[in-house]
Amino acid sequence: SVYLLRTGFARPISNGIVPLKLGHRLKPCDTVMYDTGSTALVLPQRNCTTCGKHTLFDPAESTSFSSSPGEDVVLDFSTGATTIPIAEAETANCTVVTDTVSLGGLKAPGQMFALCHQYPEAFEDVAMDGILGMGIAPQSDADIIPTFWSLYASGQLPEPVFSFYLLPGSVDGAELKLGGIDHSKYEGHLTYVDLNKNLSAVSSAFVMDLQEIHIDGKPALTRGNYTSGIVGGKPAKFRSGLAALDTGTSFLQTPDKQSAWDIYQQISPHIKQIDAAGAWGAPCDILDSVAPTLKLAIGDGDHRFQLTLPRHLFNLGEYPGLPGICQAAFSNPVEIIQDPSGDQPVWLLGSPVLKAYYTVWDGLNMKVGFAHAVKPARSVTGR
């Protein structure tokens, strides 16, 4: 098993961002965000003019680099690495190339990845240089095998799992363990919840069934499309849907704007939409005073798990450009996310709700384990 610690990266971030090495580079390593909602390794190239101050990869500095297969790709991103939602999906223009990728001493030779000469605007000022997708291995042989699965297939990892220890507002101590579980990082026992196997396989994402939502112990109600009743009629419970667990998203996302409005009306009328892209919030002191405890029942049948967002994690912090206004946990998409196999509502469960847990991700056996994360002995507190 291999540990990847965020050492030497002293700033508060929402997701684990740790060093990665390509080929035989002599310059400092790139830092990447580990993203369970995607599969590709995405990095900026030397000639990128929209990549801000990111470390740019220069193929000439690596003796193991190959421009093969040289296929041009356009990647779409609907969320960024910050809590600010994106109004419209942004794109990265890239070329699929090959090099040796190293993580904590493990090496994936001949690893294909996307080298980009144009980055989305949303990536310009974020702490990461790139993204390392940790999604489920694609079903098609024509698709790029994610780096994690290349390492597992080569026998360098004893188990097909990786585990996250994410800390709210902590500068140091977040951990990603490849190929195993760090039992010192959680309390009690791990509870495993099965993925929706069909949708997870189709999307290469960690997708679960979402059964219900409770706000301070009361069922969340809606008049919208995602009820068991008639649109615009008497409020009813949200009908069951789908939830994608995504470490690369720094908020929770409802299926549509109406769902967000209904949830916030049940919490406080002071919470309003603060950004046309879908963010909601209120004056910081008010948001703290009305913050609820949210419970989301995930899983299927008898194997449900109550995923809890504690009230102290409901406030995501002051919203950029709006002094004194803080962002609430749920954002809404500008365009509804489509269920590829039907018409179920699709929710995104990002890092805020995952921070309270030690999580074990098993994309081979299609399940995710949850346990309450231990609090670090010393940490810098914050959102």
Q: Ranked by mean pLDDT, which of 38-52, 108-122, 232-246, 257-271 comes out on top?
A: 257-271
Domains identified in the chain, total number: 2
Shared domain for 259 and 327, answered yes or no, is yes
* DSSP reduced 3-state for 93: strand
One DSSP character per residue, 281-322 reads: EEEHHHHHHHPPPEEEEEEETTEEEEEEE-GGGTEEEEPTT-
* 72 given a catalytic annotation: no
For residues 83 and 197, state if they share a domain: no
What phi and psi, each to the nearest 5 degrees, are found at residue 203? -95, -10
- For residues 368-377, give the mean pLDDT: 90
pLDDT value of position 4? 29
Residues in the chain: 383
C-alpha 139, offset from chain centre: 21
pLDDT averaged over every residue in the chain? 85
Q: Which residue has the higher pLDDT, 41 or 302?
A: 41
CATH number of domain containing 255: 2.40.70.10
Please check the confidence at residue 29 and state whether its pLDDT lies above 60. no
Q: Establish if 167 belongs to a structural domain.
A: no
pLDDT score recorded for residue 233: 66
pLDDT digits (tens, 9 = 90+) for 109-127: 999 999 999 998 878 777 7
Q: Residue 383: CB partners within 8 Å, gap ≥ 6?
A: 168, 169, 313, 315, 316, 317
Q: Residue 100 domain-assigned? A: yes
Claim to verify: residue 48 and residue 110 sit in the same structural domain: yes
pLDDT interval class at 80 (50, 70, 90): low
Among candidate residues 139, 157, 175, the one where a domain is terminated? 157
Q: Which of 99, 129, 209, 246 is catalytic?
A: 246
Chain segment 290-313, per-residue pLDDT in tens: 999 999 999 987 778 999 999 999
Q: Are 238 and 305 in contact (CB under 8 A)?
A: no
In a domain, 299, yes or no: yes
How far apart CA 98 and CA 111 sit, in angstroms, is 5
pLDDT tens digits along 176-207: 888 999 999 999 999 999 999 999 999 999 99
- Output the six-digit token pair for 205: 């994402």
What pLDDT score was predicted for residue 226?
65
302 is catalytic: no
Using the predicted structure, report yes or no on whether residue 253 has a pLDDT greater than 50: yes
The Cα 32–Cα 38 span in angstroms is 13
Task: Print the domain residue range for 195.
Answer: 189-373
